Amino acid sequence: MNYRSMELKQLAEALRKRSFSTRELTEAVFETIDQSEAVIGAYITLTRDAALKQADRLDRLIVDGYTLPPLAGMPGALKDNIATRGIRTTNASRMLASFVPPYDAFVWRLLRQQEVVLLGKANMDEFAMGHSTETSAFHPTRNPYNPARVPGGSSGGSAAAVASGEACFALGSDTGGSIRQPAALCGLVGLRPTYGLVSRRGVTAFASSLDQVGPMTRSVRDNAMVLDAIAIRDKKDVHSVGNEGGSYLDAIEEVPGQLVIGWPESHFRSDDLDPQVRDLLEKALKFYESQGMRIVPVDLKTLDASLAAYYILSSAEGFSAMNRYDGIHYGYRSPQEGGLEDIYTHSRTEGLGPEVKQRILLGCFVLSEENYPDYFRKAAQARSLVIDEFEKVFRTCHAILTPVTATPAWPLGTLPEEMGGSKYSNDRFTLPASLTGMPALSIPAGLTREGLPVGMQLMGKHFTEGLLYLLAALYEDAHGLIPTAPEVMP
């Protein structure tokens, strides 16, 4: 069964026609996991027994002629910051290594209603703070296209699981690019939805004004299919709005009108943009122009401001969110003796990794009374400037095409700055969508000469996911899916 070459809709149709059973599909994916996982390291927790039990139940329903939801029987993975009742949710941290939630996140409840088969919880950077899934307290994750390189982060486990065939789709979370960046580095389609379109209830907070959950898939239509299932309003999430504009999957088949795509020339002329990345993106612009779309230059001057504002604001919010992990309420507690302050100190020192500690310290610094006006307040003002700039730009175009990252995946154990960039500045292309709450979609633009995936980013006004999918599907239909990652040999 070559399930890796099949899209979700094709898999669903095959299950309904009983070309193969849900159990056979699930076992095939676990066979890939057994073969690849020692190298890839995509998961923290596997739920094999529950997955096979769910597959058997669905097979009985199919035999009995029941009409099932679109995603029924699809083997998927969840980033390990999405709460799952009865299944540990670690956030890839020693602090929560044994934490088992008594509740489900709203997005997982929706996928359970869709009768999805959960394979397990995917590895991630600790508390979603990182760029390469190397800050996990358990193990690093490797890029399926080249296991000597990173998969990106913080949703690197979710991306690697789908790219390696260890899952048919996955959910990740995106604070500053944590879905789009690993999707780009692993050759996937990854969506950061409009802020509020997908509920965050039950998803561990990093920076609540920035966090969003979204799908990671092999194809554009798969991505739209998953978004249709999770873009439902959650009445218990005050930020949740849900989708009221019809099916995203159906929107792909609409005939586009005269569309204008913005081209930020400064992004493409950046000194540290890899020449192969630039070449693939310029070819994408020429493709859209050949489809009758108008390409117009747009001036985006707030890229550097976005970078500074994001790291100040996210660290401040992260500092506040991390206060609950103190060795008393829940989570890891140091066995060392001492008073209350000692418990706090030892538990947090032993339970948290260096990247998390660094961001806590930065957040504490910018929120202190003497520094607040010069840092946090100015970062909030810079965020407003970014929002205003994009509102003006979108008066002249329907979507903007940019890089996702300046380079393809870099080697494990190194940092982007060793390749001419910075681990923080490499996020700069993804940060504006996070600060403004706009939707942004990463899709594969092609492969480098070394066989590494390169992604391109399409950004649109709020709630224009359907338009982004339409544009992405045009490109995907014309160029085909990029080749799957090589199989890991046992």
Active site residues: 79, 154, 178
Phi, then psi, of 272 in degrees rounded to 5:
-95, 10
Cα dihedral value 439, 442, 445, 450, nearest 10 = 160
Residue 191 is given by DSSP the state E
Q: Following CA atoms 314, 81, 227, 427 in sequence, which dihedral angle do they give, to the nearest 10 degrees?
A: 40
Count of CA atoms in the C-beta half-sphere (13 A) of 243? 20
3-state helix, strand, coil in the chain (%, to 5): 40, 15, 45
* Other CB atoms within 10 A of residue 85 CB: 15
**Amino acid letter, residue 428:** R
Give the sheet arrangement for strand 43-46, strand by strand: 43-46, 117-122, 75-79, 169-174, 212-217, 189-192, 440-447, 453-460, 399-403, 260-263, 294-297
d(CA 481, CA 125): 28
Backbone conformation region of residue 177, classed left if phi is above 0, alpha if psi is from -120 to 50, else beta? left
Q: For residue 463, which of 243, 215, 141 has the smallest C-alpha distance?
A: 243
| Cα 248 versus chain centre, distance | 18
Six-digit token pair at 251? Answer: 């929107």
Contact indicator for 7, 223 with CB cutoff of 8 Å: no
Nearest to 80 by CA among 42, 29, 110: 42
Instruction: Please classify residue 257 by burial: count the beta carbons closer than 10 Å to its beta carbon, then call 0-12 exposed, 13-18 middle and 19+ buried.
Output: exposed
Strands in 355-475 per DSSP E: 399-403, 440-447, 453-460
> 40: closest CA among 6, 11, 77, 9?
77
